[in-house]
Structure 1
Amino acid sequence: MTRAESPVVGQRLSAERPLLLASGSPRRREILENLRVPFIVRPASADESTRDGEDAAAYLARVVLAKLDAAWAAGGSALENAGAVLVADTSVIDEGAILGKPGSIDEAEAMIARLAGKTHEVWTRFAIGRASAAGGTLHEQTVVTRVTFRPLTAARIRAYAESGEGMDKAGAYAVQGLGAGLVARVDGSYSNVVGLPACEVLVALEELGLVP
């Protein structure tokens, strides 16, 4: 985790100077709405494929900074008027392996079967940057939550995979949807599993002087 040396005094987020959320995730949007943080959405994408020998920490650090670079590169009036930029990436980690988004129903089924009856981790790394690359990164942090799946029958695993709910989710499940029926226990931030650790993001914005 890194922080700016001093708060961004006098640069509080507002309707005129909102936080730019560089993500198309409706779940992250809803979390920020619940926090009543003024923001706008301008998605920025980056290569999310893993590299040989890359562990979860290195992977997330690389992808998040790539998303921040993409947001800066997109430029435009929205960025110029923003008070800061927020990017994030969420990964499901099982025994050191990074489980990304499934490419098919069969792959989703295999992921859920792998997680059934076990405890895995959900890592979300987020970064808050100034509204220009010259300003750099103000804060970076990774939040880890432990999630335990209950034992699942093959029929239930297949039925959930075929629901399609997890097709655009890391680890092939959505804890806030039908996937809640797969989960026996969550240790740590629930919103982190959804896609953005609400408390940690709000604390970082407070410490940077971006919200009261």
Structure 2
Amino acid sequence: MMKYILASASPRRKELLKQAGIDFEVYPSDTDEKITVEDPAAAVMDLAFQKADDVYKKLVPSLDGDFTVIGADTVVVYRGEILGKPEDESEAMDMLSMLSDRTHQVYTGVSLLSRRGGRYHTCSFGECTEVTFYPISREDLKSYIATGDPMDKAGAYGIQGKFAVHVKGIRGDYNNVVGLPIARLYQELKKTHP
């Protein structure tokens, strides 16, 4: 029986895995994430791999049997610029002002590192979703930033919370914007862990 370990403390990723009916344990990575490539799709897959690899190496000596570590990373991209989590409220305001009344991309990379039958296996993939915002007033942005919600989120917003009222439309996987393309993950797990 395959044991699944999520290499993230993200409440949103935990919720999505639970919704999909996947039993898992949480073992967050504490690796120092470093973006080593400029291409956003490659960057998120690399960051996801860094997290999964960190946890995999820590667990190999202590876990018996088969297991899979799920690493994921999400970034927001506007005109080729990667927007991670804001450093402070001022940076959150800058990011959200820039995204107001415009379309941007959300990339999530997922890395699956498995031990099956004593052998090491890897699988990585990424998803991209386009998100368009309505024009957002400075007052609305200040009010949202004051909630603290943007501070732990790539691009300084969460699509599933109060900020949803500013989302004009999306093209692609909604859950990818939340932080985990759960349908694609489920399909990959079915392929690699029948």
Provide the residue aligned with 1:98 in structure 2.
82
Q: Shift of the alpha carbon at 1:77?
A: 7.2
* Aligned residues: CA RMSD: 2.0
Alignment-mate amino acid for residue 89 of structure 1: D
> CA separation of 1:82/1:102 partners in 2, compared to 1, >3 Å: closer, same or farther?
farther
Provide the residue aligned with 1:30 in structure 2.
15
Alignment-mate amino acid for residue 151 of structure 1: P
Separation (CA, whole Å) in 2 of partners of 1:78 and 1:143: 32
Provide the residue aligned with 2:188 in structure 1.
204
Partner secondary structure for residue 107 of structure 1: helix
Separation (CA, whole Å) in 1 of partners of 2:137 and 2:84: 23
Q: Percent identity?
A: 35
Partner secondary structure for residue 174 of structure 1: coil
Provide the residue aligned with 2:161 in structure 1.
177
Deviations 1:44-73 (A, max 9, x none): 13333445x723133223212211220122
Q: Is the 8 A contact 1:19 1:82 kept in 2?
A: no
Separation (CA, whole Å) in 2 of partners of 1:79 and 1:72: 10
Partner secondary structure for residue 196 of structure 1: coil
Matches within 5 A, 1:60-209: 60-75=44-59, 79-81=63-65, 83-131=67-115, 135-137=120-122, 139-209=123-193
57-66 or 159-168, which deviates more? 57-66
Separation (CA, whole Å) in 2 of partners of 1:201 and 1:160: 31
Separation (CA, whole Å) in 1 of partners of 2:27 and 2:187: 23
Q: Is the 8 A contact 2:49 2:124 kept in 1?
A: no
Separation (CA, whole Å) in 2 of partners of 1:186 and 1:79: 41
Separation (CA, whole Å) in 1 of partners of 2:73 and 2:63: 20
Report the structure, 1 or 2, having the larger strand content.
Answer: 2
Q: Is the 8 A contact 1:20 1:79 kept in 2?
A: no
Alignment-mate amino acid for residue 123 of structure 1: Y
Separation (CA, whole Å) in 1 of partners of 2:18 and 2:147: 27
Scaled by the length of structure 2, what TM-score is found?
A: 0.91
